[in-house]
Chains A and B, each alone.
Chain A
Amino acid sequence: METNPQIINDLAPKKFGRYGKVWLVFLLLMILVSFYAYGQQLIKGLVITEMRDYALWGVYISNFVFFVAISLVGSLITAILRLSGANWSTPLTRIAEIIAVAAIIMAGLTIIIDMGRPERLFYLFTHGRLQSPIIWDVIVISTYLVLSLLLLYYPLLPDFAILKTFFGKNTKPGKWYGRLALNWSGSEKQKSLYNRSIRILSVLIIPVAFGIHTVTAWLFATTYRPGWDSTNFGPYFIAGAFVAGAGSVVTIMFILRKTNHLEAYITDLHFDKMGKLLVLLCLVYLYFNVNEYLVPAYKNTKEEAVHLAELFTGEYASLFWLAIVGGLIVPIVVLIFPRGRKPIPAFLMGMLVVVGAWWKRYLIVTPTLLHPFLPIQGVPENWRHYYPSALEWIITFGTLAMALLIITLLVRYLPVIPIHETAEEKGIEELKKSKRT
């Protein structure tokens, strides 16, 4: 089928504009500074963080959980919506898959930052023990990374072939896209293989996506600690992950629509649909939150009581209510109205959801550790509290910048809206129209 040249022209990757370059330099600078900070950590040890024997995990781990959570969006938009036949999501699939790949790569890197002995990472493979949830995480995250890369790559094959002709066989980008297209010719055999592979991948990635975040939840739930010791943790994390992921898609699709002038492809309809989806996901997550906090609060055992008091009214109260009200309730209220699902308010709510989701993970990881079963005595007073140090923040922001850099580079070199699929759908629509008339 001949692809509409207008579509190709609109969707082909474009060079960075002035803002794009500024953005790139900004990200690179942040990453550079974080490399310096991480160098300090390698030399001096984790003492440069504010973590100590009680607050033994901190912002690195919560940031890791955040990345894993965000990465679930790939399976949500590409797999779940694709399989359920929600065709409106087609222009968003690539964005979601790009976010997923960036997030899962960064999840893997972030967890290394937290290690006291990163140079012994390969012991996980040479001395790994299957009974440790960390090994489950290693297995399931690497599987998810491979599946996500494939699910990003396969739908790109026809697009690469289209781009090869678009840029011209003998230009540099044309050659690259040609190589990446793996001799895609669009023959019937290739098409059926292509469709089957994507369908199989879409089915396969769902249990693996559930796996990565359930196992990540189990890193906490398999301990005895009040606040973590919960059978609710797996589904609670998954529900929260879909919220964070959908929020990130809404945010990034708004930005890309502006920067890449995609108004004709990412329309108000998409914000409307994503807004509705986000409301549903937020409600589900809110339900799990009620379970997670209300049941222990009702029983109010001594250990839980201390922990919950800290969250509801204590040191972490302002953060906690900001994450719950700002990150969940406000978005639900705004997005429930059709006006709230217009691009700008939906974008703002998406941002709020993502920021709230980031802090929510911080609140899941940190306060629990400061309430062990036995009293904290005989250690310096500041070991009873935790707030990340400046270097810890720099490293954390560095990881966020790296995730954004991966997204930026993928957006620069890949068509952010699937050209082939869009053209095909437009063609089908036109065919229907012509049949009717």
Chain B
Amino acid sequence: MKEETNNTRRNFIDKGLKIGLLGAVATGALRALNSCKDTVTEPEETIELMATDGTMIQVPLKEVEEIPSLKSEGYTAREGYPNRKFVMVVDLARCKNAKKCISACNKSHFITGENAWLKVYKMQDSPETAPYWQPTLCMHCDKPPCVKVCPVDATFKRRDGIVLIDNERCIGCRFCMAACPYSTRVFNWEEPAQGETTEINLHLGHMDYSPDYTGMPSQKGTVDKCDFCPHMIDKRELPHCVTACPNGVFFFGDAYEDTVTNGDETLRLSTLLEEKAGYRLMENLGTEPSVYYLPPSNRLVDFNEGLENYDEFKSVNIAED
């Protein structure tokens, strides 16, 4: 893979990602997106923090303190972050249906039923062509058919490209689900069993409902879907599926900065799409998705490995993870 970014920045991002476990520190790709001109000078003061693997590491104090919330003055859940265009790239050559993305997404959004927002489909375009695994989530279309048909402005498109649902507005007509060609929207047919998850109860006491943290809580009789994790972006962290994937399938980033990262590698979006011949699903429909796919060529993983994880009639149980 061609290296577009310089080494100092990559080291910096790498280190940055190892912090953040305590929730006190948040860094990673979005930091890089925010300030590309950062260069690391010789650290003077350091702070000891626990890394994701449990070891203690020394981190320059300056790096820790420099990260404010991405939400600037006047941020609203309906407007989103100014001057951003969030995109995702899914590298099909790396996916072996490990399903860690699904369990992480389910867990973090307190999905309690079979209605996962992220699904990994076993795909085969024709009998002669090779099968592959296709993680599928909300495409956050730039011309979203779901938003077009919503009668009450419950689902909306933000300036940063994210499509969200206001569950306090949704009347449950499900027209958006019929309109979505990607079948990524799910419905709360009954009272979500979220009361059983202690974690959400912990959160719920302190938080008012906001559309930019879907599933927090889910509401009976309304539609849910992948929200592109604005609550993680705000902390300058990556969406749950991106960080949970053991194979680095998901790259997340900002199209305006032309940068995407899967946590380990940070790449130029345009170069990546050009070199790997990226594409979007159902381009012919004119929905202009924000999620790109890289074809499953020169695969880094064996398709068959994913088969043992494959369950046609069952979603990922959150209790498993």
Contacts and interface: CB of A to CB of B under 8 A. Distances in A.
B109 to A, nearest CB: 16
Contacts of A223: 145, 149, 178-179
Interface string B149-164: 1111100000000000
A219 B179 CA distance: 9
Interface in A2-58: 44-47, 49, 51-54, 56-57
B205 to A, nearest CB: 25
A377 B102 CA distance: 13
B154 to A, nearest CB: 8
B105 to A, nearest CB: 12
A377 B115 CA distance: 11
Given A123-B152, A128-B151, A134-B151, A115 B171 contact: yes
A373 B179 contact: no
Contacts of B122: 375, 377
A292 interface: no
Interface stretch (A279-287, A341-349, A378-386, A399-407): A378-386
A333 interface: no
A369 B148 contact: no
A121 B221 CA distance: 13
A39 to B, nearest CB: 15
B189 A380 contact: no
Nearest to A373: B181
Given A51-B189, A378-B312, A378-B314, A124 B152 contact: yes
A79 to B, nearest CB: 29
A134 B175 contact: yes
A225 B314 CA distance: 25
A129 B173 contact: no
Given A45-B191, A116-B220, A225-B178, A53 B186 contact: yes
A121 B169 CA distance: 10
Contact of A373 (B150, B183, B220): B183
B314 A131 contact: no
A127 interface: yes
A277 to B, nearest CB: 35
B313 A381 contact: yes
A94 B313 CA distance: 54
Contact of A46 (B119, B145, B189): B189
A223 B174 CA distance: 12
B172 interface: yes
A23 to B, nearest CB: 34
A92 B119 CA distance: 56
A118 B119 CA distance: 30
B183 A379 contact: no
A53 B177 contact: yes
A114 interface: yes
B177 A132 contact: no
Given A117-B222, A132-B150, A134-B173, A56 B313 contact: no
Contacts of A115: 171-173, 221
B116 interface: yes
Given A44-B190, A117-B222, A380-B314, A132 B151 contact: yes
A116 B188 CA distance: 9
A120 B152 CA distance: 10
B119 A378 contact: yes
Interface residues of B, number: 50
A198 B195 CA distance: 59
Given A57-B174, A115-B173, A373-B183, A45 B221 contact: yes
Interface in A205-245: 219-220, 222-225
A138 B114 CA distance: 33
Contact of B136 (A121, A220, A222, A374): A374
Given A121-B171, A224-B285, A127 B178 contact: no
Contact of A56 (B102, B148, B177, B315): B177
Nearest to A123: B152
Contacts of A123: 152, 169, 171
B138 to A, nearest CB: 13
Contacts of A427: none
A373 B314 CA distance: 20
A47 B188 CA distance: 8
B37 to A, nearest CB: 41
A91 to B, nearest CB: 40
A101 to B, nearest CB: 25
Given A56-B177, A116-B171, A375 B153 contact: no
A129 B171 contact: no
B312 A132 contact: no
Interface in B122-152: 122-123, 136, 145, 148-152
A375 B282 CA distance: 14
B196 interface: no
A379 B313 contact: yes
Interface string A54-68: 101100000000000
B121 A377 contact: yes
Contacts of A124: 151-152, 171
Contact of B221 (A116, A373, A376, A380): A116
A168 interface: no
A117 B313 contact: no
Contact of B151 (A57, A135, A374, A383): A135
A372 interface: yes
B182 interface: yes
Interface of B: 102, 114-116, 119-123, 136, 145, 148-153, 169-175, 177-179, 181-183, 185-191, 220-223, 281-282, 285, 311-316
Given A124-B151, A378-B312, 14 more contacts: A46-B187, A46-B190, A114-B173, A117-B172, A120-B170, A124-B171, A134-B151, A219-B175, A224-B181, A377-B312, A378-B313, A378-B314, A380-B114, A383-B114
Interface of A: 44-47, 49, 51-54, 56-57, 114-118, 120-121, 123-124, 127-129, 131-135, 138, 219-220, 222-225, 369, 372-381, 383
25 contacts: A46-B189, A49-B189, A51-B189, A52-B189, A53-B187, A116-B170, A116-B173, A116-B174, A116-B187, A116-B221, A120-B170, A127-B169, A128-B152, A129-B152, A132-B148, A132-B175, A133-B175, A223-B178, A224-B145, A224-B181, A376-B183, A378-B119, A378-B121, A379-B114, A379-B314
Q: Kindly list the 9 A-B residue pairs having the minimum CB-CB distance in the complex, ordered from nearest.
A: A116-B172, A116-B221, A47-B190, A134-B151, A132-B151, A47-B189, A45-B190, A117-B172, A123-B152
